[in-house]
Amino acid sequence: MTTQIKFGTSGWRAVMAEEFTFANVRRAVGGIARYVAAQKPRGARVIVGRDPRFLGETFCSLAAEILEGHGITPVVVAEPAPTPAFAYAVVQTKADGVINFTASHNPPQYNGIKFSTPDGCPALPDVTKKIETEIEAGDRDGTPSGTKAKRNRSTKESLDVKPGYLKRLREIVDLEAIRKADLQVCFDPMWGAARGYSDEFLREAGVKAATVHDHQDVLFGGHAPEPDDLLLEDLREKMRATEAQIGIATDGDADRFGIVDADGTFLQPNYVIALLFDYLVESRGWKNGVAKSVATTNLINAIAKARGVDLYETPVGFKYIGELIMQDKIAIGGEESAGLSIRHHVPEKDGVLAGLLCCEMVARRGKSLGEQLKALCNQVGSYYPQRENFRLTPEVKEKFTEKLRSDPREFCGHKVGEVVRTDGLKLVFEDGSWVCYRLSGTEPVVRIYSEARSKQGLEKLSGAARQWIFE
pLDDT tens-digit series, residues 45-75: 999 999 999 999 999 999 999 999 999 999 9
pLDDT tens-digit series, residues 191-235: 999 999 999 999 999 999 999 999 999 999 999 999 999 999 999
Res 298: pLDDT: 96
Question: Do 12-160 and 164-380 share a fold?
Answer: yes
Residue 251: how many CB atoms within 10 A of its CB? 32
For the ranges 238-252, 354-368, 424-438, the lowest mean pLDDT is seen at 424-438
Q: Identify any residues that bridge with 13 across adjacent strands, giving them in sequence order.
A: 112
Question: Which numeric CATH code is attached to 164-380?
Answer: 3.40.120.10
pLDDT at 147 over 60: no
The answer to whether the beta carbons of residues 97 and 36 sit under 8 Å apart is yes
- Residue 197 DSSP SS3: coil
pLDDT tens-digit series, residues 240-288: 999 999 999 999 999 999 999 999 999 999 999 999 999 999 999 999 9
Entry pTM: 0.94
How many residues would you count in the chain?
Answer: 471
Q: Where are the domains of the chain?
A: 12-160, 164-380, 384-470
Res 148: pLDDT: 46
The answer to whether the beta carbons of residues 19 and 131 sit under 8 Å apart is no
Q: Which CATH superfamily is domain 12-160 in?
A: Alpha-D-Glucose-1,6-Bisphosphate, subunit A, domain 3 (3.40.120.10)
pLDDT at 149 over 50: no
Distances (CA, A) of 209 to 158, 163, 459: 31, 19, 38
Phi (first) and psi of residue 135, to 5 degrees: -60, -45
CATH class of 384-470: alpha beta
